[in-house]
Structure 1
Amino acid sequence: MAAEAAEKSRKSAQRDAQAGAQASALATRLAREITGEVLFDAFSRGRYATDASFYQIMPLGVVVPRSMDEALRALAIGRDEGRIVTPRGGGTSQCGQTINDGLVVDFSKHLNRILSLDVEGRSCVVEPGIVLDDLNRQLKKHGLWFPVDVSTASRATIGGMAGNNSCGGRSLRYGTMRDNTLSMEAALADGTLMRFSEVPRDLADVNASDPARALFRDMLDLGAREAGEIAERFPKVQRRVGGYNLDALVPRNAPNNMAHLLVGSEGTLAFTTKVELKLWPVIRNKVLGVCHFGSFYEAMDAAQHLVKLKPIAVELVDRTMIALGREIAMFRPIIGAAIKGDPDAVLVVEFAEEDQADNLQRLKQLTELMGDLGFGWDNDKRKWGGVVEITEPALQSGIADFRAAGLNVMMSMKEAGKPVSFVEDCAVPLPHLADYTARLNEVFARHGTSGTMYAHASEGCLHVRPVLNLKLEKDVKAMRAIAEEAFAMVREYKGSHSGEHGDGLVRSEFHETMFGPRLVADFREVKHRFDPGNVLNPGKIVDAPNMDDRSLFRYSPDYRVDELKTRLDWSAYPGAGGGFQGAVEMCNNNGACRKLEGGVMCPSYRATRDEKDVTRGRANTLRLAISGQLGPDALTSDEMMETLKLCVSCKACRHECPTGVDMAKMKIEVLAARVASNGLTLRDRLVGYLPRYAGLAARFAPPVNLRNRSRLLRKLFERFSGISARRALPAFRRDVFTPPAVVVGPENGREVVLFTDTFNRIYERENLDAALRVLSAGRYRVHLPKPVSGSRPLCCGRTFLSAGLVDEARAELDRLVAAFAPFAARGVPIIGLEPSCLLTLRDELMSLRTDDDAKAVSAQAFTFEEFLVREAKGGLLQLRLAPLADKALVHGHCHQKSFGAFTPVQQALRLIPELEVETVESSCCGMAGAFGYGADTYDASIEMAELSLLPAVRNADKHTLIVADGTSCRHQIHDGTQREALHVARVIAMSIARAQPNSTISSVVKDPTHG
């Protein structure tokens, strides 16, 4: 046995060595012949080994071409070298379409332009890598949009949508991707370029010398030959996206559109180079009716009646999704406004006719129809069957965002089991929807689980996901059994087992039972005619592996994570290693972090467009590293540091990732492991220990600041410390902030504690002076506590955390808690000026200490603006404020946005009379503490700032106040524009200084959305 094992190991090593040599030869040739990125290292390959499905296949390598010619060259090289090639867009496929073990070609970074636009004819031609939201942003100014509005619109590419025949929530009105694709240009596997569009059956319009003619002839002949079988076996539902679209080839009165054969082909037939799209006028008016139901069955049964009012969408939200949404801060107010009582399910009905009066009339009819169906308020059961009418655009957008995040809301369950996609988008005729879902729930129960259901009730296509743990063999077997039983039911109801997300690795295996052996043979004929060498993305649609082949799973049978010694508290997550593993595995690859506008996440990706620099890419790398798939010591390797290098710890993912991936916290854990393994660099020491030496440096400020004035010293300092010579460091000053007393203000004033953080104390004492003036003017009794032990000023440990020095950070927080806890126990607010420091008390403190004192300090921690706004709302803030300027342009600190603390900034500024407050729609400023000072991160820092912040400041009128609470943000603004940005405390103090005796503040804070 030992000899056999040794021989097996030897042969395996020999095969690996041979494969490695072949990969090296391919990589060398690609790098020589194209200018785009050629990624063959294990870390890069790992980031492309998954999509939003539960599968994982490690590719041989990845190419990110700079032009379409380079993409086609990569295809040719891959073919010549005997390798399969898989095109990829946003990588958000839920069925495993975009993963394979050959060469992956990423179209999303560079091949994303609108090539032509015909406004009058309502059409455009685009490259396949363009993202749907980006396309619609460019079309909006022309009054047009592309309406296949998939929930992943912020990262789904048009090429990927065409590959899957995507549908979106409004397909009831607009149809599927196929219905809106006019033509496509594509290359066959052998490199032959063809145009696929409408052709007459005699092909009279196709030149005899065109290689497309013979291919089209064969396809049209196949359609004629199989017309009867297609009519008999293809499901008669709009949401039928399984198999190849052979029904596009059958004889008809109108021309056949050959592009429709490519739509839904999942990259298996041709390499798309251009897509011509049908465009529609933008929706100008709409209303929503949220219909409540006491039982899920009633909601499903009602759908067939509600569609008779001709809405453009009817979307389901079930009890589970409602409950999970209420736990997510960004969705809680939306659910509170739209959902009343305790419904088992709601149907969101959308009307969007051109005339708003028409929409309102239909909304009235909807309410009447619900009454006719017998739904009303039941006081005893707290079940309400009425309709909540939504006419406010902001709330409509919020509901749309919640529905679009449905999948990821479901995936936010912090449990080992997750809702799994495999019977996700079966479609059945509406009259059968209620019975189908009821029977499906019985199937789930029979196999020991339950499921979540939401989405497209108007089409009989629900997103159905049973909760399973695919690390367990028994749950994998349950998945197989559920799939077989569910698909049998779908066939019984003459529905489709693929209703939206395509086939991929999940459903292709089941085509024969759905379509019959004859049509599956036709599918193979089509594949072979287009791609006889089986080069393009094999294993999808035809000749697929078993869907439950665990060797292809993200969590394969040999998936293991050794116990990890963690420094932070991860108990909120499932899994080993104190839950760190569970936190990492929360990423389901949904790709929301790849959005380019809206919100804050993910600033580094917005600057580089590299998969390495997106939250998803980092989480995938962490998962592969802790499970040993990237080799020993991968977690603390240089490659891991490169992966995390551009993470600015903005915490946007903590707030905006639908599944709650907290990369900033994970980065602290990895940095701590790195420090334990490799020690500290000089740069880490300079950054981390700043609070310890800042006082001494301030005493010798002139010589310490000499570095900023000498080019030679800057260059030497960069060489030895890694701090960029292109960046001036904050200047130390001798007149650091020193508390005038332990207590400032009237004895009978309401008590507060002012947290004097290191940055404002050492570098910008004006902000602390201003805060004291404001609080004193408001007649507050301000405590400035001294440390309980030692003479060093109090610190939150922020800089230590950024260097991975968790023990030092804990020591600082221990000192701070000891000083602040007596006040917190009495309910005294703790007010801070620097967002990253103050909010450390609401975040990292709770990951380092869970005792009552720490909890009390955390609960009483408020930003300066949060405190003022709270007091004003309670009628307790009496300040004399005078007009100061016409306008303030405000940039929000990332941590303020992550913790919902930015709205109070706007509200606080609006306390100043006559001041118009405008917000910069910005992501991270790019400075991010020490990040912007790094020699290796300076360029990325500037790129992030130039996305929106710096241009907005440059365009501002010279009399406009520039406001930013973050120390780093103010420095970035100054460095990039030479404009001075002010902390809100200074702005309000300036207003007080100008105030007249009769100018008193109202105790009511205006809603910032209403100015």
Structure 2
Amino acid sequence: MTVTDPRTGPTRPDPAADLPAADLPAAEIGRRLAAALGGGDDVVDVSSARRAAYTTDASNYRVVPTAVVFPRSAEDVEAAFATCRELGVPFTSRGAGTSVAGNAVGTGVVLDFSRHLNRVLEIDPEARTALVQPGVILDDLQRQTAPHGLRFGPDPSTHARCTLGGMIGNDACGSHALAYGRTSHNVIGLDVLDGHGRRFSTDAPPAELVAGLEGVAAQHLALIRTTFGTFGRQVSGYALEHLLPETGGPRGTALARLLAGSEGTLATSLAARVRLVRQAPSTTFVVLGYADMAAAADATPALLTHSPLAVEGIDRRLADVVVRRGGSVEGLPRGNGWLFVEMGGETPEESLAAARGMVADSDALDSVVIPTAAEARKLWRIREDGAGLAGRTPDGRPAWPGWEDAAVPPARLGAYLREFETLMGSHGVDGLAYGHFGDGCIHVRIDFPLYEDGGGARTREFLEDAARLVASHGGSLSGEHGDGRARGGLLPLMYPDDAIRAFEQVKRVFDPADLLNPGVIVRPAAVDADLRVPHARPAHVLGMPRRSPELAFAYSQDEGDLTRAVHRCVGVGKCRADSGGVMCPSYLATGDEKDSTRGRARLLQEMANGTLVTDGWRSQEVRDVLDLCLSCKGCTHDCPAGVDMPTYKAEFFDKFYKGRLRPMNHYLLGWLPRWSRLAALAPRVVNALTGVRALARVAKAVGGVDQRRPLPAFAEQTFRQWFDARVRSGEAATGGEPVLLWADSFTNAFSPEVGRAAVALLEHLGFTVSLTEKQVCCGLTWVSTGQLDGAKRQLRASLDALGDSEVPVVGLEPSCTALLREDASELLPDDPRARALHRRVRTVAELLAERRPEWIPPQVGAGAVVQPHCHQHAVMGFGPDAALLAKAGVEAEVLAGCCGLAGNFGAEAGHFDVSVKVAEHRFLPALRGRGDRVVVADGYSCRTQADNLAQVRPKHLVELLAEALPEGAAGD
């Protein structure tokens, strides 16, 4: 292999081209990289845990890297590549790891640009440009350009976490690419490093590179003019149209556009100057309803004549998934397929007029103009979460990427969709379609039989037929995600042989040694090679028989198999985004992939694979990566794929410590209900002892509690003691509608005032309140510390105490309420009493909404900062509470995110700093800025964190309402 040498003129052998594949051990490669970059494991990491977290992106593929590098500067990137080139080690660039085609995984060194190279370097409002590092998150760029009335045009659904470098690599598009073009259309110039180790600007590329590319263009001129750039979403392969003389040839912007979409196989971006566009001053959002998706596609070309900013297609079945998961799609028009259309204008009147004109020209069955931006945002969220929501078919089977972004010219879209439905039926697969109808790009996740024997080959057969179908419509295998490992092997079904040879020639000009992301686009592996799921072992291979008592949870949505459960994580990466939910507080605190829900899932998946993480249930790597999981349950709600990391953590800890001595905090904090019952015998003595600083230090050290965390004081009179005395004295109300108040351990031992307020409120509303005959515990603290045999014993005792009546069970502590309502049936799936709790257990707000909907509470007349408990957010939802606060005249600022204490998590030694960082994300700033507003928090942990860190004692909702009742009203 030869290249042109600018110093000598003639060609000469490239010394890197003949380097053998590196056979050095990972530790040695890591040592050499660390020496070159001058950093420790925070810069270069070859541990099995770190490599496991980077084995895959958001695709179906698993490729184990040799090392992971976190470059701190462009010079670090150069040094890393120089080492890779010297050793012949492949080099793969990675942003947020949201690539769904396997574009961001590799066997050699994977560089994560998102940790350090993540800044907006310059914004030029006059020129409407920005200079960015490759790891900058798109939403961060949008926030910084918004004050200038500008934005970056393309906006993929992953905008809250995807990076500009990744967008450039894959030529990302998004909903508004219809108006603003693909990423390649918005890249002005790049600072890059190519496979020769040359760093240059696309404005001034090396002469020999230009000559090489011009030679490729001259050889294939007719082919390029007739085959490339044929429609707006032709993303597959290299964009060779930018080599044509009429585009300016391979210099400047044309060269930048060629590199955009090359998936890191030709060069690595070190910085990018991008074009900014003016934001539409006003937009109006319209939903059009059609008989089905194909009919919606047929109608799309006519709508394009109205110059919409976006035209997105949504299948009714996708909206049904939202409803099944507790969401709302109210306000959508009639139909089984919808088009979400956004019209722009200089004024609200102008955008509304444009929307009405577009509706009048449509042939929709029905239409709705969405009146507010907030309502429109709710519907856009369905579209943005599509990748995760479509991760299950309507009958609950896992659905996978792989054919998730094919595109055809919009005029062919309806016909393509009908034939595609037929094709899926002929292969016995299904998927929920949605996507960028205005551009002819369809997203769909398909229930490929990856868990079945021979499933990989059957998947390949479908993909080959799908490729032939899209090619027959003049389409592209990829419309915005790139080819990666999913479609690289299919390119010969779309392009003629000469085009494939041209791709190889371009690759040789930039990267003769094939070190940059090898196996992608050029000389790819078969599309069914390196699939992740077929190599995973079911739980029984790990020593835990499926559907047996040895797996503590039922995993009823995953066929009783923990392996299937952890593979719910397909890597969409929403856990890396600050998207207004709860998930994932530890990642938001540390910014480390291993502390994300996805990172933890990857380790569990590798445990199931058994080749990188080899110790199964005894894996120290898995134990360590689960350590900073707060068990907040945010992922169960916020992750569109429905990952339940707290359950997986509890299951793993249960098996990891089986037959072993546990950490002391598991005995102290995990058995807290037991200790609180003992403390209730002499609470003043216990409080006096723990109030002695020296004794408290010893108790914390022995119990594994962080020395900076105050020990809670036990109530001098428990709630149950107060309640029983009240019943004996005849003060309790009788004769009303019966409810059973769940006297959880936290309310009983530490916050009896909350229980007293609940009794006052419920009796005022005509309920007769009772408690279980004896003090019982739902088992929450046993679950959170992974002591699941003990949790089941506690839960069975609770079921015995609750009986099998239909009397509502009213919870005050959200975490206990959530466990009774959801987790109980997963821990005791064969006990009908546990299943019945789902319909029996209610929060106070839910009870009042159902049984006293007409009640108007006394007007509190105050503003409030409200912290919903994470488990309430995940399981019950905060809607009834928000409605009740509004009825009470409370102007509430409802916070999003976790308080950071999370039960035992923030009390454990080693967790305090992360606990504080989580609290500082939203919780503590809101408390400091509350002014004279009251703070409301139903969770004992939330109230404790506020007291510990901000010296604020929040009120439970029932306290706020009970205090507003007329004097002596309780029991009236």
Specify which of 641, 658, 662 is matched with residue 676 of structure 1: 658
The 10-residue stretch of structure 1 (81-90 or 459-468) with the greater mean CA deviation from structure 2: 459-468
Residue of structure 2 equivalent to 1:428:
408
Aligned counterparts of 2:232 and 2:286: Cα–Cα separation in 1: 24
Deviations 1:295-330 (A, max 9, x none): 444333222222222222222222432433332212
* Aligned residue identity for 2:127: G
1:505 aligns with 2:485: yes
- Is 1:650–1:924's contact at 8 Å kept on the other side of the alignment? yes
* Aligned residue identity for 1:626: A
Instruction: Evaluate the alpha carbon distance shift between residue 253 and residue 637 of structure 1 in structure 2; reply closer, same or farther with a 3 A threshold.
Output: closer
Alignment of 1:409-808 (within 5 A): 409-413=389-393, 418-549=398-529, 552-556=530-534, 559=537, 561=539, 562=541, 564-565=544-545, 566-575=550-559, 578-705=560-687, 709-737=691-719, 738=721, 739=723, 740-742=725-727, 745-787=732-774, 793-808=775-790
Residue of structure 1 equivalent to 2:243:
249
Instruction: Evaluate the alpha carbon distance shift between residue 911 and residue 467 of structure 1 in structure 2; reply closer, same or farther with a 3 A threshold.
Output: closer
1:952 aligns with 2:922: no
Residue of structure 1 equivalent to 2:17:
none
Alignment of 1:101-500 (within 5 A): 101-197=107-203, 206=204, 212-220=206-214, 222-224=216-218, 226-252=220-246, 256-257=252-253, 258-330=255-327, 333-334=328-329, 336-340=330-334, 343-371=335-363, 385-413=365-393, 418-500=398-480
Aligned counterparts of 1:944 and 1:135: Cα–Cα separation in 2: 23
Instruction: Evaluate the alpha carbon distance shift between residue 100 and residue 228 of structure 1 in structure 2; reply closer, same or farther with a 3 A threshold.
Output: same
Specify which of 845, 848, 860 is matched with residue 827 of structure 2: 848
Deviations 1:584-611 (A, max 9, x none): 1211111111112311111111111111
Aligned counterparts of 2:140 and 2:350: Cα–Cα separation in 1: 31
Residue of structure 2 equivalent to 1:381:
none
Identity %: 33
Q: Which runs of 5+ in 2 are unaligned?
A: 1-20
Cα deviation for residue 34 of structure 1 reads 5.6
Aligned counterparts of 2:49 and 2:172: Cα–Cα separation in 1: 30
Partner SS for 1:268: coil
Cα deviation for residue 225 of structure 1 reads 5.0
Deviations 1:165-206 (A, max 9, x none): 011112211100011112111223444321124xxxxxxxx5
Partner SS for 2:361: helix
Deviations 1:436-460 (A, max 9, x none): 2222233333333344322111112
Cα deviation for residue 916 of structure 1 reads 2.3
The 10-residue stretch of structure 1 (92-101 or 848-857) with the greater mean CA deviation from structure 2: 848-857
- Is 2:410–2:439's contact at 8 Å kept on the other side of the alignment? yes
- Is 2:196–2:510's contact at 8 Å kept on the other side of the alignment? no
The 10-residue stretch of structure 1 (977-986 or 944-953) with the greater mean CA deviation from structure 2: 977-986
The 10-residue stretch of structure 1 (614-623 or 285-294) with the greater mean CA deviation from structure 2: 285-294
- Is 1:970–1:981's contact at 8 Å kept on the other side of the alignment? yes
Residue of structure 1 equivalent to 2:874:
898
Normalising to structure 2: TM-score of the pair? 0.91
The 10-residue stretch of structure 1 (928-937 or 516-525) with the greater mean CA deviation from structure 2: 516-525
* Aligned residue identity for 2:811: G
* Aligned residue identity for 2:758: A
Instruction: Evaluate the alpha carbon distance shift between residue 266 and residue 953 of structure 1 in structure 2; reply closer, same or farther with a 3 A threshold.
Output: same
Cα deviation for residue 978 of structure 1 reads 1.5
- Is 2:281–2:346's contact at 8 Å kept on the other side of the alignment? yes
Instruction: Evaluate the alpha carbon distance shift between residue 695 and residue 477 of structure 1 in structure 2; reply closer, same or farther with a 3 A threshold.
Output: closer
Deviations 1:903-947 (A, max 9, x none): 33333333434x322222x31111001111111111110110011
Cα deviation for residue 239 of structure 1 reads 0.2
Instruction: Evaluate the alpha carbon distance shift between residue 391 and residue 581 of structure 1 in structure 2; reply closer, same or farther with a 3 A threshold.
Output: same
Instruction: Evaluate the alpha carbon distance shift between residue 17 and residue 120 of structure 1 in structure 2; reply closer, same or farther with a 3 A threshold.
Output: closer
- Is 1:567–1:806's contact at 8 Å kept on the other side of the alignment? no
Aligned counterparts of 1:702 and 1:74: Cα–Cα separation in 2: 62
Partner SS for 2:362: helix
Cα deviation for residue 293 of structure 1 reads 2.4
Aligned counterparts of 1:156 and 1:724: Cα–Cα separation in 2: 36
Aligned counterparts of 1:141 and 1:744: Cα–Cα separation in 2: 62
Normalising to structure 1: TM-score of the pair? 0.88
Partner SS for 1:528: helix
The 10-residue stretch of structure 1 (666-675 or 560-569) with the greater mean CA deviation from structure 2: 560-569
Cα deviation for residue 519 of structure 1 reads 3.1
Alignment of 1:874-953 (within 5 A): 875=854, 877=855, 881=858, 883=860, 886-913=862-889, 915-920=890-895, 922-953=896-927
Partner SS for 1:412: coil
The 10-residue stretch of structure 1 (934-943 or 453-462) with the greater mean CA deviation from structure 2: 453-462
Residue of structure 1 equivalent to 2:812:
833
Instruction: Evaluate the alpha carbon distance shift between residue 962 and residue 298 of structure 1 in structure 2; reply closer, same or farther with a 3 A threshold.
Output: closer
Partner SS for 2:25: helix
* Aligned residue identity for 1:918: E
Q: Which runs of 5+ in 1 are unaligned?
A: 1-14, 198-205, 376-384, 788-792, 1002-1011
Aligned counterparts of 1:725 and 1:780: Cα–Cα separation in 2: 44
Aligned counterparts of 2:968 and 2:187: Cα–Cα separation in 1: 63
Cα deviation for residue 538 of structure 1 reads 1.1
The 10-residue stretch of structure 1 (465-474 or 933-942) with the greater mean CA deviation from structure 2: 465-474
The 10-residue stretch of structure 1 (276-285 or 101-110) with the greater mean CA deviation from structure 2: 276-285
Cα deviation for residue 347 of structure 1 reads 2.3
Aligned counterparts of 1:492 and 1:632: Cα–Cα separation in 2: 46
Aligned counterparts of 1:325 and 1:659: Cα–Cα separation in 2: 11
Instruction: Evaluate the alpha carbon distance shift between residue 704 and residue 139 of structure 1 in structure 2; reply closer, same or farther with a 3 A threshold.
Output: farther
Instruction: Evaluate the alpha carbon distance shift between residue 745 and residue 447 of structure 1 in structure 2; reply closer, same or farther with a 3 A threshold.
Output: same
TM-align CA RMSD: 2.8
Partner SS for 1:644: helix
* Aligned residue identity for 1:939: D
- Is 1:471–1:557's contact at 8 Å kept on the other side of the alignment? no
Aligned counterparts of 1:569 and 1:473: Cα–Cα separation in 2: 26
* Aligned residue identity for 2:299: A
The 10-residue stretch of structure 1 (358-367 or 975-984) with the greater mean CA deviation from structure 2: 358-367
Aligned counterparts of 2:814 and 2:821: Cα–Cα separation in 1: 11
The 10-residue stretch of structure 1 (253-262 or 238-247) with the greater mean CA deviation from structure 2: 253-262
Aligned counterparts of 1:559 and 1:900: Cα–Cα separation in 2: 34
Instruction: Evaluate the alpha carbon distance shift between residue 982 and residue 324 of structure 1 in structure 2; reply closer, same or farther with a 3 A threshold.
Output: closer
Instruction: Evaluate the alpha carbon distance shift between residue 607 and residue 557 of structure 1 in structure 2; reply closer, same or farther with a 3 A threshold.
Output: closer
Partner SS for 1:582: helix
Aligned counterparts of 2:659 and 2:122: Cα–Cα separation in 1: 54
- Is 2:61–2:532's contact at 8 Å kept on the other side of the alignment? yes
Instruction: Evaluate the alpha carbon distance shift between residue 567 and residue 517 of structure 1 in structure 2; reply closer, same or farther with a 3 A threshold.
Output: closer
Instruction: Evaluate the alpha carbon distance shift between residue 104 and residue 571 of structure 1 in structure 2; reply closer, same or farther with a 3 A threshold.
Output: closer
* Aligned residue identity for 1:554: R
Aligned counterparts of 1:302 and 1:800: Cα–Cα separation in 2: 56
Cα deviation for residue 45 of structure 1 reads 0.8
Instruction: Evaluate the alpha carbon distance shift between residue 231 and residue 945 of structure 1 in structure 2; reply closer, same or farther with a 3 A threshold.
Output: same
Residue of structure 2 equivalent to 1:66:
72
Aligned counterparts of 2:755 and 2:446: Cα–Cα separation in 1: 54
Deviations 1:843-881 (A, max 9, x none): 2211123433333343221222333344442x2x475x3
- Is 1:409–1:659's contact at 8 Å kept on the other side of the alignment? yes
Cα deviation for residue 430 of structure 1 reads 2.4
Aligned counterparts of 1:140 and 1:943: Cα–Cα separation in 2: 27
- Is 1:753–1:783's contact at 8 Å kept on the other side of the alignment? yes
- Is 2:824–2:834's contact at 8 Å kept on the other side of the alignment? yes
Deviations 1:673-730 (A, max 9, x none): 1231424222111112111121222434455345654554454344433211111111
